[in-house]
Amino acid sequence: MRIKKIIFVILGSICLALGTIGVFLPIIPTTPFYLATLFLFANSSEKLHNWFLGTKLYKKHLDSFVKRKGMLLTTKLSIILSVTFLMGFGFFMMARKGIWIPCIILGVVWLAHILYFVFRVKTIKPDKCRKTKPENSISE
């Protein structure tokens, strides 16, 4: 059982590093790596899991998605635009060389990506992301 936890910590750390690199380098997806980090840390160490939940990276990129199964419009647009730019660049470079089958595959992947974010990921309003008063607070 201890070896399993060590492997989860190592894999979680790798996913955390890749996700963090993806924040600055849009070619690497941030959200899937952070979701994997969350899963791996939750199954390896409660201390690591709680630490990751408290980071600004988690709160900025995953908190709204995990809690409300949705993203802010600005987050969705930044993901869509960065992926569109990178896939468009790849499409342009392959089309210049006349490599059409990979262009078609890339176009289908891009379309699936757009459809997923438009129709499957719920758009939440910014006011729903703000913290509300705790239920047991005293109102004046």
Per-residue pLDDT tens over the stretch 31-79: 788 888 888 988 888 898 888 888 887 887 777 777 777 888 887 887 7
pLDDT of 139 reads: 43
Give the three-class secondary structure for 26: coil
Q: What is the pTM of this model?
A: 0.55
Q: pLDDT confidence of 127, banded at 50, 70, 90?
A: low
pLDDT for 80 beyond 70: yes
State how far the Cα of 91 lies from the Cα of 113, in Å rounded to an integer: 15
pLDDT confidence band for 1 (50 / 70 / 90): low
Is the pLDDT reported for residue 7 higher than 90?
A: yes
- What tokens appear for 116 in the block? 């997923």
pLDDT at 136: 45
Amino acid at 19: G
State yes or no: pLDDT of 11 exceeds 90: yes
pLDDT in tens, 81-119: 888 888 898 899 999 999 999 899 989 988 988 888 888
The CA-atom distances, in angstroms, between 13 and each of 20, 36, 37, 57 are 10, 10, 7, 14
* pLDDT value for 14: 94
Instruction: Provide the CA 33 distance to its chain's centre, in angstroms.
Output: 7
Does the pLDDT at position 137 exceed 50? no
The structure tokens listed for 77 are 């647009």
